[in-house]
Amino acid sequence: MKYDFDTVIDRRNTDSLKWNVEENVLPMWVADMDFRTAPEIISSLEQRLSHGIFGYTDIPGRWYNAYISWWKNRHGFEMKKEWLMFCTGVIPCISSSVRKLTSPGDKVIIQTPVYNIFFNSILNNGRTVFENKLKYENGKYEIDFNDLEKKLSDPKASLMILCNPHNPVGKIWSKDELERIGCLCKKYCVTVLSDEIHCDITDPGEEYIPFASVNETCRNISVTAIAPTKAFNIAGLQTACISVPNEELRKKVNRAINTDEVAEPNAFAVEAAVAAFENGGEWLDELRDYLFYNKVTVREFLTKYLPSIKLVDSSATYLLWLDCTQVCSDSKLFAQDMRDKTGLYLSAGSSYGENGKNFLRMNIACPNKTVREGLKRLKNYMEDYYERD
């Protein structure tokens, strides 16, 4: 490999949210990576830093071009410049859009188990969470379209937040599934807000489909939030993009993010995004290979040593969804006890919806050595757990 993903980097005492834990704790929870970002991004930021003046920053043409070229070349979807708006993050985009595109008391549809902050963006704004629970059968997740249509037909349902690819189950939605979602949402006049922040973190040979690329219907009813932050580990730079093809919908979203003052970049946000999309492709490809290597490590370990814990099949994200149904009835208590006894810090599946109560989420975006240490702690915990049981 050209790039180094094996070196363990000490992130303690760096004000890292992930690593602000006790000395014996191994955090494999929140979704950021323990790899340095692409050297090409660091070099670009160093050049910007050396200038020494960090005033208010405008959005240059090369920022638009970087997004347009990346999505055209990587994902086969050509966006137009006028569709794109800068935002400080995907979650600010979601929260602002919830406020502008819905009314207090409206119902916002999410497909649980799903990224826990979706709940916050809905509830904190006085809207109601409306769960279209994913069906889990034979170790795989599918959309319950009968239930989805029932939810969409509710007159109070006005927005659906789609997670594409899906976090935490790692599912890449097919074109047919996305088309059915678009058709149903149009039928019931429901806007789709598609969170596609994980789109570039797919298994080698796998490709996601942008919701807005499916057909004209999907384009006209959707707001898409995209960013280089997950794929290149630069979330702390607060840089994202919103793509809205429909002009009237775009005006509403533009007003939303400007009203909330989340539409202006810091001095490094533009440089990081441009460098990622213009020069980070090779680094990203090697990262995807390495993450898949880590996934295989986990799968083989569980199969050999912990067959009672099942790795849910996935094709995207670096977040593994562990089915602990055979050993766990309350993932919150299970995860806390595991942390207390071994220091292994995983996310409780119940955080992502009630139907995640038998699951844990594991972040494997770290050196393989760290993954193996996490698995060792998991094995030790389960051996003790069985003895106590």
Residues 12-24 pLDDT 10s: 999 999 999 999 9
Distance, C-alpha 222 to centroid of its chain: 18
Residue 285 has what pLDDT? Answer: 98
Residue 42 has what pLDDT? Answer: 98
**DSSP characters over 261-314:** T-----TTHHHHHHHHHHH-HHHHHHHHHHHHHHHHHHHHHHHHH-TTSEEPP-
Domain locations along the chain: 26-38+281-388, 41-279
Q: Which residues of the chain have pLDDT under 50?
A: none
Residue 387 has what pLDDT? Answer: 76
Residue 335 has what pLDDT? Answer: 98
According to CATH, the topology of domain 26-38+281-388 is Aspartate Aminotransferase, domain 1 (3.90.1150)
- Own/partner long-range contacts of 58-65 (Cβ < 8 Å, ≥24 apart): 59/86, 59/265, 59/270, 60/270, 62/274, 63/270, 63/273, 63/274
Residue 389 has what pLDDT? Answer: 63
Residue 253 has what pLDDT? Answer: 98
39 upstream amide cis, omega within 30 of 0: no
Return all residues near 251 (Cβ < 8 A) that are at least 6 apart: none
Return all residues near 220 (Cβ < 8 A) that are at least 6 apart: 186, 245, 246, 249
Residue 75 has what pLDDT? Answer: 98
Residue 385 has what pLDDT? Answer: 86
Residue 386 has what pLDDT? Answer: 80
b/e for 45-72, b at 16 or more Cβ within 10 A? Answer: beebeeeeeeeebebeeebbebbbebbe
Type of residue numbered 198:
H
Over residues 147-163, the pLDDT tens digits come to 999 999 999 999 999 99
Radius of gyration of the chain measured on its C-alpha atoms: 21
Are both 26-38+281-388 and 41-279 of the same fold? no
Q: Which CATH number fits domain 41-279: 3.90.1140.10, 3.30.360.10, 3.20.20.450, 3.40.640.10?
A: 3.40.640.10
